[in-house]
Structure 1
Amino acid sequence: MRSRSLTAGAAMVAAAALLLSGCSESSGADSDEKKLTFMFRGGPDEKTAYDAAVARFEEANGVDVEMIVTTADEYNTKLKAAIAGKQIPDVFYVAPGDVQSYVGNGIIKDITADVEGVESIDLDNIWDFGIDSYRYDGKLMGQGPIYALPKDIGPFSFGYNKTMFEEAGIPLPDADKPYSLAEFVDVAKQLTKDTDGDGALDQWGTGLNVSWNVQAFAWSNGADFLNEDRTKVTVDTPEFAEALQWFADLQNVHGVTPSASEAQTLDTYQRWMQGEIAFFPVAPWDLSTYEKLPFDYDVIPYPAGSTGEAASWIGTLGIAVAESSDFPEEAVKLAQYLSTDVEAQQTLVDAGVQIPNLKDMAETWAADSTTKPANKQEFLDIVNDYGRPLPGGFTYNGEWYDEFFTNIQPVLDGDQTAADYLKEAQPKMQQFLDSANQQAGIG
């Protein structure tokens, strides 16, 4: 068997082919050969890992798998174009936020009977978050039938430049006890410097993107985006305003992040990669890239707000099976294999693009002192103890959540208080949430 993998550069051609002739050669084929199409997103490291893993699956199962890979930015557009053209891949990545609509429109298959109580799959050894993110009972996510298996789980941890600390003579952060917000600001100020004496800063304490980091600070300050049954937007609270204002003040009051103009010259991710920023988030999909960092780094808990407890989020992608697949049994086998097979998981972990889906394998991975970061246990602590899903992932759509960030820039620039902004944003977000819940049949 031969795996035909299409690069991101050829993805546009592939997407057009999906719409014109069907995503898998199995559709309407007269041949007895079983053929599947697997559509996913990723970079070169992920593509190489899947090439190897899928080749083994093909050999073991007598199935030909055509792989279509796109960039992360292109994936949703091209998948939805294939769905609109009724040429759906047999197996494909799905985000939790798309599950409800895909189930409602009959796009993805209920695979509960294929994975629960099946001898070859030990669901107890797969992260609960990874399974529950793809459960849907017709009204609420997180419970009911299973519609995908986890491609991965992505605990978002807090990285720091260990070399920078050592050169500055500052004690290294505690791997188990988070900084308070005040402690974090104090350390960040010590690490914000003009290192070459030209009168301009060229090293900063941090440089955090609001879209991926404000959640941790809000949660650890006792705030949240939604109430428990996901019917009310709850950002207009003193606790949330305090956390968001603190985040904005990192630049506007404390000066520990690059200014807007400095970030335009070189964004904070690039500055982190060059060793100019002390604290920056680290996710499992970063690990292969971070092997090339010109400094030593490690990970710690996020700084903690008024609760004294660190918080963070866990991302995930799932591997779903199309309801329309001509070979559903083989398609389910492929999803199971990519998600739960030890050898396949090892291939992906070795590529540095994820942590293992299997709990026992993850413990071994975290204990490996020969690979970075040293404190890989922090990733598992987030999954086991305190990580939460991104707020927009468990509602019918994420428009209400996207609205939170739409007009937030004046707060980040210091031109509007967080409290005033949240008071304005809450009713707009609520309208979007009410619409999403109405589509989901809730409320």
Structure 2
Amino acid sequence: MLKRSKKIMSIVITAVMAASVFVGCGNKDNKTADGKIELTWMCYGQPQETKVFDQVIKKFEAKYPNVKVKIVSTTQDQYGQKIQASMASKKLPDVLYMNPGDVKAWVNSGNILNMTPYLKKAEEAKILDLSDIWPKGLAKYKYDGEKIGQGDQYALPKDIGPFGFGYNKDLFIKAGIPLPDKNKPYTWEEWIDVCKKLTKDTNGDGKMDQWGTGLNVNWTLQSFVWSNGADFLDESKTKVTVDDPKFAEALQFFADQTLKYKITPSAQEGQTLDTYQRWIKGQLGFFAVAPWDIAAFKDLPFKYDIIPYPASTATGKSATWLGSVGFAVGANTKHPQEAVNLAIFLSTDKDANKMVSDMQIQVPNLMSMAKNEYVNNANIQPENKQQFLDIIENTGRSMPAEYTYNAEWINKFFEGIQPVLDGKKTAADYCKEVQPKMQELLDKAIEREKKEKKK
């Protein structure tokens, strides 16, 4: 009871603090002392990223001298809680980050502005060119009241994040293994064979200290599932399909990387050092690499590059997911056109795009810049950045929960997956067992969506 009381008190305090932070969003005109329009932008990011934000805002204020922007920066972990508290107090910032998975709920609750009419005005004024923004990035924030990906625009992409597949070039060269084809994916069997050759006891102490790979199930299982012709949901996005034998086959293949093929660190070895740190130290042959990793990987003690994910013979096609965060505008903003103009500037300004891409934390939102300056910039690793663009245009997919009202149904799947990874339960048994539990949660989400749309 004491813990529960503390939790309730924490929520109350957070709501009060959020209300005080955004009190300016609820005043009469949202004007500064010198008569300028004041917009509040709430964001999160690493210190070097927030420095770029400051520079971008100065450029925006120079372009729109009648507007002053107040940046409210927080950590990514705290952001969601603060936004929910500000929604409860009806004091959202003028501009805020929105995840694709929040679009339905935030729009149906009336918290987010429909940008479409304001974007049209911006296009007419020649301050926006939607044709130069990645279509998949825009689609993540379109909603027609029924489906994501069509209808009106409720946010502009801050970024579009292709989840790539990296490999350690130095380990390949040392082992005398031909470097992978940068365009053609390994088959599952070919990839396992290479991983076995890279898994070694390099110092002769009887213990493995180098492995073929070490992938996180939460972020990389999707690639194997999709490549095997399976999915988490059917086309209607109303039926959970993890009981498909092709899904179970992909999950078992993932688990067998440790259980059968021994190409990953064991659970015990993972307690000593996680696979991210082992990749950093040059102990893994393959690991997931996304644009936001590149700055952190700048000083790795080895050369690396990216290639397509391994492909199942069931489809012969590689697949991975494509993430994003969007710039949305609070529905109650006093100055909607100015707030939308800020979102447009943050998303599409050429200098802003160049600054964040030069920081090596994202691919430019502007296709023209990504396909020329970015992909051909030898100062930005990896060499095969074209693979990121191929993911954006071809092999990248939205995460399953982006189509549904919440992520509780898919969280249930990953909450109980450990026995499969430990070899205590087969993938087929687990998928049959968890499917009805996931379906029940999805059905509840669908009913909740129906009720909130009627309000």
Smaller-chain TM-score range? over 0.9
Number of aligned residues: 431
2:54 paired residue number: 51
1:330 paired residue number: 338
Deviates more, 1:69-78 or 1:113-122: 113-122
> 1:69 and 2:82 equivalent?
no
Q: Give the drift of 1:359.
A: 0.8
2:353 paired residue number: 345
Q: What code does the residue aligned with 2:358 have?
A: D
Q: CA RMSD in A?
A: 1.8
- CA deviations on 1:187-209 (whole Å, 9 max, x unpaired) are 11111111122211111111100
Q: Of 276, 288, 295, which aligns to 1:269?
A: 276
Q: Give the drift of 1:24.
A: 3.6
1:201-212 mapped onto 2 (5 Å cutoff) = 201-212=208-219
Q: Assess if the C-alpha contact under 8 Å between 2:185 and 2:309 holds in 1.
A: yes
> 1:389 and 2:403 equivalent?
no
Q: What code does the residue aligned with 1:19 have?
A: A
2:20 paired residue number: 20
1:286-305 mapped onto 2 (5 Å cutoff) = 286-305=293-312
> 1:321 and 2:324 equivalent?
no
Q: For the structure 1 residues 347 and 381, does the alpha-carbon distance in structure 2 shift closer, same or farther, using more than 3 Å as the test?
A: same
2:408 paired residue number: 399
Partners of 1:26 and 1:77 lie apart in 2 by 20
- CA deviations on 1:204-230 (whole Å, 9 max, x unpaired) are 111100000000000000101111111
Deviates more, 1:390-399 or 1:54-63: 54-63
Q: For the structure 1 residues 239 and 289, does the alpha-carbon distance in structure 2 shift closer, same or farther, using more than 3 Å as the test?
A: same
1:370 paired residue number: 379
Partners of 1:168 and 1:52 lie apart in 2 by 46
Q: Give the drift of 1:328.
A: 1.8
1:277-292 mapped onto 2 (5 Å cutoff) = 277-292=284-299
Partners of 1:235 and 1:200 lie apart in 2 by 36
Q: Assess if the C-alpha contact under 8 Å between 1:14 and 1:68 holds in 2.
A: no
1:4-403 mapped onto 2 (5 Å cutoff) = 17-20=17-20, 22-24=22-24, 27-28=27-28, 31=33, 32-62=35-65, 63-116=67-120, 117-118=123-124, 119-305=126-312, 306-364=314-372, 365-403=374-412
Q: Give the drift of 1:392.
A: 0.6
Q: Assess if the C-alpha contact under 8 Å between 1:24 and 1:90 holds in 2.
A: no
Q: Assess if the C-alpha contact under 8 Å between 1:23 and 1:37 holds in 2.
A: no
Partners of 1:16 and 1:77 lie apart in 2 by 12
**Structure 1 unmatched runs, 5+:** 1-12
1:313 counterpart SS class: strand
Partners of 2:15 and 2:72 lie apart in 1 by 9
Q: Assess if the C-alpha contact under 8 Å between 2:201 and 2:210 holds in 1.
A: yes
Q: What code does the residue aligned with 1:49 have?
A: V
Partners of 2:221 and 2:323 lie apart in 1 by 15
Q: Assess if the C-alpha contact under 8 Å between 1:222 and 1:239 holds in 2.
A: yes
Q: Give the drift of 1:369.
A: 2.8
Q: Give the drift of 1:433.
A: 1.2
TM-score under structure 2 length normalisation: 0.91
Partners of 1:179 and 1:419 lie apart in 2 by 25
Q: For the structure 1 residues 125 and 82, does the alpha-carbon distance in structure 2 shift closer, same or farther, using more than 3 Å as the test?
A: same
1:411 paired residue number: 420
1:278 counterpart SS class: strand
1:405 counterpart SS class: helix
Q: Assess if the C-alpha contact under 8 Å between 1:204 and 1:277 holds in 2.
A: yes
Q: Give the drift of 1:69.
A: 2.1
1:423 paired residue number: 432
Q: For the structure 1 residues 376 and 15, does the alpha-carbon distance in structure 2 shift closer, same or farther, using more than 3 Å as the test?
A: farther
Partners of 1:240 and 1:21 lie apart in 2 by 46
Deviates more, 1:160-169 or 1:373-382: 160-169
Deviates more, 1:68-77 or 1:177-186: 68-77
1:213 counterpart SS class: helix
- CA deviations on 1:301-337 (whole Å, 9 max, x unpaired) are 0000121110011001110000111222221111000
Runs of 4+ that moved beyond 6 A: none
Partners of 2:450 and 2:333 lie apart in 1 by 28
Partners of 2:174 and 2:263 lie apart in 1 by 18
Partners of 2:203 and 2:397 lie apart in 1 by 41
Q: Give the drift of 1:26.
A: 7.2
Q: Assess if the C-alpha contact under 8 Å between 1:273 and 1:293 holds in 2.
A: yes
Partners of 1:122 and 1:87 lie apart in 2 by 31
Q: What code does the residue aligned with 1:420 have?
A: D
Q: For the structure 1 residues 197 and 343, does the alpha-carbon distance in structure 2 shift closer, same or farther, using more than 3 Å as the test?
A: same
Q: Give the drift of 1:21.
A: 5.2
Q: Assess if the C-alpha contact under 8 Å between 1:153 and 1:317 holds in 2.
A: yes
1:415 counterpart SS class: coil
